[in-house]
Chains A and B, each alone.
Chain A
Amino acid sequence: MASSHFKKKTSVKQEIPTASLPDIIFMLLIFFMVTTVLRETTVQVRTTLPQAEALTKIDQKRLVSYIYIGPKKLDGNRLGETGVQIDDALVEDMGSVRTIMYRKLIEQPKLIVSLKVDQTSEMGIVLDVQQELREAGALRINYSSKREIPS
């Protein structure tokens, strides 16, 4: 009785309904569209981040502005002297950090400045940048670092 019922079912041609497939794909698409931040910059300085334990997460990526500090990448895998990069360009004159960050602060009053500093950099240049940030009034900073791998 039961086996005959089962046989009957298998004889019917079965297909997976694909009508909802576009909807599923669109859902995924919208998720990735919302989470994507398109603005990507080419970093012209090497930033090997230090490791730390006392980390906080920056959830709102849109508030963050990055300053990269590290040895300049030169042709042929060589490293030059320490440079400071904001957005796409290297900053030549330390005083222009102030004006750039001040403009950013006016656009985004809740600005968080993430300092991506190479671990071999010297504190002098970091302190100079911080001094400029104080002058600009961008006081919320974040020393970008990676999670320490417990040994």
Chain B
Amino acid sequence: MINLRRYTLIRNIVLVWLSLVLLAAFLLNIPKINILEHTARNLYFHVPMWFTMMAAVFVSAYHSFQVLRSGDIVRDIRALQAARVGAFFGVLGLVTGIVWSKFTWYVGTDVWWNFDPRQSMVSLQLLIYGAYFVLRGALDDPNKRARIAAVYNLFAATTTPFLLYVIPRQMDSLHPGAEGNPAFSEITHPIMRLVFYPAIVGFIGMFWVLYTQRVRTALIKHRVTHDPEL
């Protein structure tokens, strides 16, 4: 069901790839920007977390759609594990964002969290996915659970682009890409893109490795207990 040789190959590539990204992220010189200074390098780490979560949401929604088409429990396993690892990357994105904002937006104050629209909306998004995991816990029959959870997961996935991108961009926010604040494409120097795009690829690869590990474990559990919930 899972091609182990391919998995091992991709895992090794991802580990080497991310190590090189980490090196380049610190060793390459970047243009100086007021207030941001070296924290501009967080572009290589904080932003790919959200790209990775978005990719995970797509994977999860795709498999949920397949659950509704075929009722295949393996698709349900994949949808759940993609959502779990995706939410994990979302939490990392949120926490790294809080730390970044503390020492740029809120420097010289005691503020860590100021209900910036971007942060509020992604918190809401993570709560929506939290409800997905709770909903699953409330249902005992694996086949019924697969179908009901798939419907909810498709709803959760459709809210994601709005809460992550559309709504925060129309409100006043300190986050780049919001109203009155330049977006990535206007302010990012080419040298930073040299690291940024590989970082996105690397972290999405990391997602795939962690997700595949969990799918493998869930498949074994399904085989021995007939309940794939992990």
Q: Do A and B come from one complex?
A: no
Interface residues, chain A, CB within 8 Å of chain B? none
